[in-house]
Amino acid sequence: MGEGIQFIGGGNMGAAIVAGLVRAGWEPGSITVVETSHDRRTALAALVPGVTVVDAPRACTSGVVAVKPGGALDACRALAGLGATRVLSIAAGIGAGALQDAAGPSCAVVRAMPNTPALVGEAVSAITGSVRCAPEDLDWAEAVLGAVGTVVRVPEQLMDAVTAVSGSGPAYVFLLAEALVAAGTEQGLDPRDADELVRQLLVGAARLLRDSPDGPEVLRARVTSPNGVTERAIAALEAAGFRDAVRSAVAAAVRRSEELGK
Ligand SMILES: NC(=O)c1ccc[n+]([C@@H]2O[C@H](COP(=O)([O-])OP(=O)(O)OC[C@H]3O[C@@H](n4cnc5c(N)ncnc54)[C@H](OP(=O)(O)O)[C@@H]3O)[C@@H](O)[C@H]2O)c1
CA distances from 122 to 14, 145, 151, 237 (A): 15, 10, 11, 28
Q: Is 69 in the pocket of ligand 1 (CB under 6 A)?
A: yes
Predicted model pTM: 0.93
Q: Is 35 in the pocket of ligand 1 (CB under 6 A)?
A: yes
Contact 15, 47 (CB under 8 A): yes
pLDDT of 245 above 90: yes
Mutate to test the pocket of ligand 1, among 6, 7, 8, 13 (most ligand atoms within 8 A of CB): 13
Q: Report the percentage of the chain scoring pLDDT > 90.
A: 97
pLDDT band at 147; cut points 50, 70, 90 = very high
Q: How far is the CA of 76 from the centre of ligand 1 (A)?
A: 14
Instruction: Delineate the domains of the chain, giving CATH numbers in brackets.
Output: 5-156 (3.40.50.720), 169-261 (1.10.3730.10)
pLDDT band at 1; cut points 50, 70, 90 = very low
Atom 28 of ligand 1, nearest CA residue? 67
pLDDT of 262 above 90: no
Q: Is 111 in the pocket of ligand 1 (CB under 6 A)?
A: no
Q: How far is the CA of 8 from the centre of ligand 1 (A)?
A: 9
pLDDT of 99 above 90: yes
DSSP per-residue codes, 114-152: --GGGGGT-EEEEEEE-TT--HHHHHHHHHHHHTTEEEE
Q: 40-56: per-residue pLDDT in tens?
A: 999 999 999 999 999 99
pLDDT band at 60; cut points 50, 70, 90 = very high
Atom 39 of ligand 1, nearest CA residue? 37
DSSP state of 164: I
Predicted local confidence at residue 149, as pLDDT: 97
